[in-house]
């Protein structure tokens, strides 16, 4: 019996395995977190959606940026990864990627004012320490998309930083390269989702280097890394309904819970509503049915 590949890292949602010296296996689970706490109940189809959307975007964005994806096809993965069967059923949730030297920045592009950016703006009138025009509202479209990098703090939370600090971390040339490619990727993705009647409010990219070249790594424009809003429901001053785990976050926020483990048990209807949001995101953005993607539901 061939042993399973070696586990390198298990995150809140993804598991990373070593496949020889040059390849890694990334498996997107159905685990879900809110307020940085992982819930016990899986969200059906979540891992398939994250994987299928990443494969879709790597194909669509290949002329904008190189990517590390090798294959998401189960038969090809089985040939590339001896022992993958020992991990159980990962068809549709696994991809093989080239191993890269990761850049220690998360490259966020914001086209609209939302989330942490809005919270900072409401408090100080800035976004990632950049002064912004007065009078902006939650959900307002920015005059132009902003490259707003972040880093992982010691606690595991993202720490928003400005471009000058990003340049000190990775160097001026790399920081500028990251900014330009991130903005180009966002522009192309925003055009695609607009055709589906959606708004890409913001999204996060991660990059690495392979043989000195910058490549796109990890997930790409998924409901976990992006805010996707129905264009006809964006009303400045309020938070639009997002195609992500918003039903779960809304329910969890309303519970008498201190946001530390263990989390409360998710009701069946919240699990079903959250799963439906993920599937709808994939099908609206890509124009494809998730039933046609690999693996069981």
46-65 pLDDT per residue, tens: 999 999 999 999 999 999 99
The residue among 38 and 1 whose pLDDT is bigger is: 38
State the Cα angle at 119 between 116 and 122, rounded to 5°: 150
Looking at residue 8, what is its pLDDT? 95
Looking at residue 155, what is its pLDDT? 53
| Mean per-residue pLDDT, 70-76 | 98
Looking at residue 246, what is its pLDDT? 84
Rounded CA separation 136/257 (Å): 32
Looking at residue 20, what is its pLDDT? 87
pLDDT of residue 23 exceeding 90, the answer is yes
Residues of the chain with CATH 3.30.470.20: 102-233
State the Cα angle at 128 between 201 and 133, rounded to 5°: 75
- Write the class of the CATH domain 102-233: alpha beta
Count other C-beta atoms under 10 Å from residue 49's C-beta: 28
84-105 residue pLDDT tens: 999 999 999 999 999 999 999 9
What share of the chain has pLDDT > 90, as a percent? 90
CATH assignment, 1-99: 3.30.200.20
Asked whether the beta carbons of 237 and 139 are under 8 A apart, the reply is yes
DSSP state, 67? B
Residues of the chain with CATH 3.30.200.20: 1-99
Looking at residue 269, what is its pLDDT? 97
Looking at residue 41, what is its pLDDT? 97
Rounded CA separation 26/29 (Å): 10
Looking at residue 239, what is its pLDDT? 87
Rg (CA), the chain: 19
251-261: burial string, b at 16+ Cβ within 10 Å, e else: bbeeeeeeeee
Looking at residue 193, what is its pLDDT? 97
Kindly report the average pLDDT of the chain as a whole number.
95
What share of the chain has pLDDT > 70, as a percent? 98
Residue 223, token pair as written in the block: 């409901």
Looking at residue 36, what is its pLDDT? 86
């Amino acid at each position: 019996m061939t042993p399973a590949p070696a586990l390198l890292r298990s995150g809140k949602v993804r598991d990373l395995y070593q496949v020889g010296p040059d390849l890694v296996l990334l498996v997107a689970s159905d685990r879900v977190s809110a307020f940085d706490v992982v819930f016990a109940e899986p969200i059906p189809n979540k891992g398939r959606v994250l994987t299928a959307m990443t494969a879709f975007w790597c194909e669509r964005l290949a002329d904008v940026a190189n990517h590390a994806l090798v294959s998401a096809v189960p038969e090809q993965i089985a040939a590339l990864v001896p022992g993958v069967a020992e991990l159980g059923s990962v068809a549709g949730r696994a991809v093989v990627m080239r191993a890269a030297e990761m850049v220690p920045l998360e490259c966020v592009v914001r086209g609209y004012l939302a989330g942490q950016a809005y919270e900072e703006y409401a408090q100080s009138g800035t976004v990632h320490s950049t002064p912004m025009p007065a009078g902006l509202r939650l959900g307002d479209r920015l005059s132009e998309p902003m490259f707003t990098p972040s880093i992982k703090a010691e606690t595991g939370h993202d720490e928003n930083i400005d471009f000058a600090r990003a340049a000190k971390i990775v160097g001026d040339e790399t920081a500028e390269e990251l900014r330009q490619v991130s903005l180009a990727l966002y522009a192309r993705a925003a055009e695609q989702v607009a055709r589906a009647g959606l708004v890409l409010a913001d999204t996060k990219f991660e990059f690495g280097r392979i043989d000195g070249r910058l490549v796109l790594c990890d997930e790409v424009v998924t409901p976990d890394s992006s805010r996707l809003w129905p264009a006809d429901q964006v009303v400045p001053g309020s938070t639009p309904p997002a195609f992500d785990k918003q039903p779960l976050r809304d329910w969890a926020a309303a519970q008498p819970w201190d946001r530390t483990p263990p989390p409360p048990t998710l009701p069946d209807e919240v699990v079903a509503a959250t799963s439906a949001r993920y599937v709808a995101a994939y099908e609206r953005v890509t124009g494809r049915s998730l039933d046609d993607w690999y693996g069981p539901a």
